Each structure stands twice: as C-alpha cells, then as structure tokens.
C-alpha cells in the first residue's frame, strides 16, 4: 500500500516534460541519468497528465472500498487480502509496457483497487486477531508498514529507472502474498462460519500453543450470538446512535487526514522539493522524509498504548498545522527575495511528517476497526474508506495545479487551516477507545 501511494513521487519526475523549476543539481539525479542513458522513458507527460496518473489510484481505491467490506464478511479477510495481490501484478504489467498516459492511468486504477481493498480489510483483520491490550500496538503496525513501503520506493526510485522500480515492487507484492498464504484466517470469521476448532488454532498461532483460548472464543461466540438472527435493515442500522456517532468520528478523522495534504505531498514529494529549490536536492529530501516517517511510525508502535488516542491526535493536528504554515511561509519569503532559508523546507517537512505519524497517520485506521460492531463494521469501514479515497482523488488531482496556479504558499496555508479545524473536531467528536472492549465502546457511543 505504501509503495502504491508513493510510486508517483520518483516516477513522475522521470516522465514529466521539463516544466518544473529547480535551482539545484541533484547528485542522485546525475547518478540516475548516468545509469539510465540507454533506458530512457518511452513517452513524456505534462503536469496535468501527471496529476491524472497520480489521482487514478483514488478511483481504483474508491471502487474497491465498499465491496471489500462485504467480501471480507462473506469470504473472510484472509482470502480477500490474498485476492488483492492480483491487481498489483496487473498494475505492474501495465506500467512496464505502457506507451501512453491512458495505459498508465488504467494500470494505476488496478493499483488503487488493491490499495483500497487492503485499507479496508487489513484493519478488520488486525482488530480481530489482536488482544485488547495489544490492539493499538498491532494497529499502528499497519501505518508502520505503509511507511516501510514508502522508504523502499523512495530509495529504489532515486537510483533506478521507473520500469525497474515497478518490477521490484511487483515482486515484493507477490512475495508478501505468498507469505500471507501460510497465516490463519480471522478467528471471528471462523467462529461465524461454525469452525470453532480452526478458530482455536488461529488464536493459538498468534498467542502460543499452550495459551488457553477458551475464554476468548467464548467472548467471540457471545458477541456473535448478540447479533440479530435476521438480516438487519441497512437503513435501520445506520440510524442507530452508536453507528451515527462512530461514522461522524471515522469519516471526520479520515477527511481531516486527507485535508492535511499528506497523500498529495507523498505522491509529489520530489516535484514539491524541485519547486522549493531548497539547499538539499529533491531526491535526497524524499529519502530523508521517508526514513523519518518510518522511524516515527516505529516510535508510535512502542508508545501508542501508553497515552490516550485523543492526546496523540491533539499533538498531531496542532503540530502539522504549524509545520504546514512554516512550509507555506518559506515560499512567501522566497518570493520576497529573502535568502538564507534554504533549510526551512526540509526541516518543516521532517517535523510535519513526525507529527503526522504520531496521530493522524495511525489513529484513524485503528479507530476504524474499533468503533463498530461486527454486523456493521464492513459497511461502516467501506463508507469511511470511500470518503478517504474521494478526498485523496481531490487532493492528488488538485495539488500540482494549485501549486502552479495559486502558488505553493497559499496551497500549504490552506492545509494548515484544515489542521487547526481538526484539533477542534477531535475535542468534540472523537471518542476515546484505548483499553476498552467493543461492548464498552458501543455503550459509550449510545449515550
């Protein structure tokens, strides 16, 4: 998923016509050019075409988001995750053999199908295998591994041709799929389908062979027995106070997550730093930021269960607000002819990504898997993720054009304002879930 999100960052500068401004010559760019002189790109894109290539991921993700929740309920999360390896392989083939922007866009749609599906199903799977005391830690691994994909793509993308990069990422995806084949199905899904023995083996796989899983299985069974025996009306479920409040929290958080500009910045990191013309070259900056994101996500894994979720969100939204304002200020000062601020873009973006990784990165994904009962979880997560991908399309399609038309300073000031509003939203609309069972969370949402 991380590789899919960041693929455009190193790839588009190789495909874009020379329409961006840069005041520095990158050592990595020189290395790239010397190693790819005999492997030049077969075609070139305009900035507008490049923005379509970036945004097509969201179209594919949106088409998979709601069906993925249903498919996970129907066939099990494990089978769905394995199935989403196929569109990644299809994307790899399209990208390798593309000779025009249309083919590349179609390939990105397939990449989006896998990304959107996994973004729904993986948090469900994690929440269903995790003990309550470890749920936050395991949930934060989801974000950590996204950043690992970003680092791999940023590093390889700086040194190799985009076809080589895409081939490497396709092989990684295939290896992940083959590895996950040997993991068990979700215990909750196995209990739902009457396979208690297999559910017991699945729990022991994650705990230990000597672990007494009877109590956990009984809790799962009790939770399933409380579901309505008849198929509940979707409209009736969506009118439930607990579901409404849960959707407000999840849809709101995922909206603000996107309005921070994170995926636009991730998609176009190299392009943005080329526009900044800072003292550190664009490819080096993208690698540094990817490593910072990964390190920050690693720290979150260690501390996420020690502090309330909302505290992380307060710190994250306030910190990203300040950093985005500083990044916008850099472009304002640059236009005014002020010098000696070449380190500000990289510094502000490093801090921005640290603050984002502390809260707005992992917490919305975790909360998506924590707020809803099993009978509505697939649909609710589908709605939330669909919102995420709609906004991702808007951000990734408009960010390059906003920078070109409005100027980078107004673009990042706008994102900063949204982060200020996010802090207020967290205060009034997001419930605390740390250390609470599903039943406790549902009771609080009904109040």
Amino acid 418: pLDDT: 96
Distance from the Cα of residue 275 to its chain's centroid = 25
Residue 358 phi, psi (nearest 5) = -75, -25
Whole-number mean pLDDT of the chain? Answer: 83
213's tokens: 């899983």
pLDDT value at 17 more than 90? no
pLDDT band for position 398 (cuts 50, 70, 90) = confident
Radius of gyration of the chain (CA): 22
| Domains by residue range for the chain, with CATH | 2-211+239-446 (1.20.1250.20)
Q: How far apart are CA 80 and CA 42, in angstroms?
A: 35
HSE, CB side, 13 Å, CA atoms: give it for residue 92: 18
CB 118 within 8 A of CB 98: no
Specify the residue for token string 């997550």.
257
Closest listed residue to residue 318, CA positions, set 260, 365, 392, 265: 260
Residue 73 phi, psi (nearest 5) = -65, -35
* Contacts of 130 by beta carbon, 8 Å cutoff, 6+ apart: 138, 139
DSSP class of 342: T
DSSP SS3 for 25: coil
Q: How far apart are CA 2 and CA 291, in angstroms?
A: 13
Count of other CB atoms within 10 angstroms of residue 218 = 11
pLDDT value at 55 more than 70? yes
pLDDT band for position 33 (cuts 50, 70, 90) = very low
Residue 98 phi, psi (nearest 5) = -65, 135
Which range has the worst mean pLDDT, 14-23, 158-167, 301-310? 14-23
Count of other CB atoms within 10 angstroms of residue 89 = 16
Average pLDDT over residues 415-440: 87
The more confident residue out of 17 and 371 is 371
364's tokens: 């919305």
pLDDT tens digits, 60-119:
988 887 788 788 888 889 999 999 999 999 999 999 999 889 999 999 999 999 998 888
């Amino acid at each position: 998923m991380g590789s899919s999100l960041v693929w455009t960052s190193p790839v588009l500068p190789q495909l874009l016509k020379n329409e961006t401004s840069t005041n520095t010559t990158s050592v990595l760019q020189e290395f790239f050019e010397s190693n790819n002189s005999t492997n030049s790109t077969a075609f070139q894109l305009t900035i507008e075409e490049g923005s379509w290539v970036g945004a097509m991921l969201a179209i594919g993700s949106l088409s998979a988001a709601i069906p993925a929740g249903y498919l996970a309920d129907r066939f099990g999360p494990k089978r769905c995750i394995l199935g989403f390896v196929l569109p990644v392989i299809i994307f790899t083939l399209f990208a390798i053999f593309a000779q025009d922007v249309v083919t590349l866009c179609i390939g990105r749609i397939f990449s989006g199908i896998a990304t959107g599906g996994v973004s729904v199903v993986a948090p469900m799977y994690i929440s269903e295998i995790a003990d309550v005391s470890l749920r936050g830690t395991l949930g934060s691994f989801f974000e950590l591994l996204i950043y690992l994909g970003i680092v791999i793509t940023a590093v390889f993308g700086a040194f190799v041709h985009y076809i080589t990069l895409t081939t490497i990422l396709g092989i990684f995806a295939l290896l992940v799929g083959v590895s996950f084949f040997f993991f068990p199905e979700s215990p909750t899904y196995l209990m739902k389908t009457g396979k208690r023995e297999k559910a017991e083996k699945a729990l022991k796989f994650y705990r230990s062979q000597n672990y007494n899983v009877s109590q956990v299985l009984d809790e799962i069974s009790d939770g399933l027995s409380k579901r309505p025996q008849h198929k509940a009306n979707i409209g009736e479920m969506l009118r439930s106070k607990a579901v409404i409040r849960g959707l407000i929290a999840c849809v709101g958080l995922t909206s603000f997550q996107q309005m921070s500009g994170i995926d636009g910045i991730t998609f176009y990191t190299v392009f943005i730093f080329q526009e900044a013309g800072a003292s550190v070259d664009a490819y080096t900056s993208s690698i540094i930021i990817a490593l910072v994101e990964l390190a920050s996500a690693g720290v979150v894994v260690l501390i996420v269960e020690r502090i309330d979720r909302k505290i992380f969100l307060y710190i994250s939204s306030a910190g990203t607000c300040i950093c985005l304002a500083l990044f916008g200020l850099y472009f304002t000062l640059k236009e005014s002819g002020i010098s000696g601020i070449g380190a500000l873009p990289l510094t502000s973006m490093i801090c921005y990504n640290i603050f984002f990784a502390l809260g707005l990165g992992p917490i919305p994904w975790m909360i998506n898997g924590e707020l809803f009962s099993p009978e509505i979880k697939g649909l609710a997560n589908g709605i939330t993720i669909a919102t995420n991908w709609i906004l991702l399309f808007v951000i990734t399609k408009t960010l390059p054009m906003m920078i070109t038309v409005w100027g980078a300073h107004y673009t990042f000031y706008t994102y900063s304002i949204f982060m200020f509003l996010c802090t207020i939203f967290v205060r009034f609309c997001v419930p605390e879930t740390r250390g609470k069972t599903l039943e406790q969370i549902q009771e609080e949402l009904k109040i």
